[in-house]
Amino acid sequence: MNRILVIRGGAIGDFILTLPALKALRVAYPDARVEILGYKHIATLAENRFYAQAVRSIEYGPLASFFAKNSELPVELARYFASFDLILSYLYDPDRTFQTNLGRCGVENLLCGPASIIEQNGHAARQLARPVEQLGIRVA
């Protein structure tokens, strides 16, 4: 695994609860380049530290086309998404529009984590770690 993208919206608390999953990915793939697509003012907490080498803003205008059915996808972003060996998305995508558009770009390995936490389904950090555990990675 050479390139990993984690897509995480939400507030700062949501992001912090995702850090154990990011840590597990980093430990499992220490040589991989990990990037985060999220709210830049939040995700920069992890940039150029242990968790990720780069952060990209989820508020980037051309990204909006990925949330529309049958839209024309910007070539630059299509290439960007297709360049990752693994994408882990925590976005709310009930119609799977974003997921479908990633597939149109050639993304082959996409894991979708919960966009929201379900009460009485375990600690929030554990719920957010479950997609990583699907890869056979232990999350501490």
pLDDT digits over 4-56, tens only?
999 999 899 999 999 999 999 999 999 999 999 999 999 999 999 899 999 99
Residue 92 pLDDT exceeds 80: yes
Residue whose structure tokens are 């995508």: 93
Q: pTM score, two decimals?
A: 0.93
Residue 118 pLDDT exceeds 80: no
Residue 117 pLDDT exceeds 90: no
What the chain holds in terms of domains, given with CATH numbers, is 3-133 (3.40.50.2000)
Position 139 scores a pLDDT of 84
Position 65 scores a pLDDT of 97
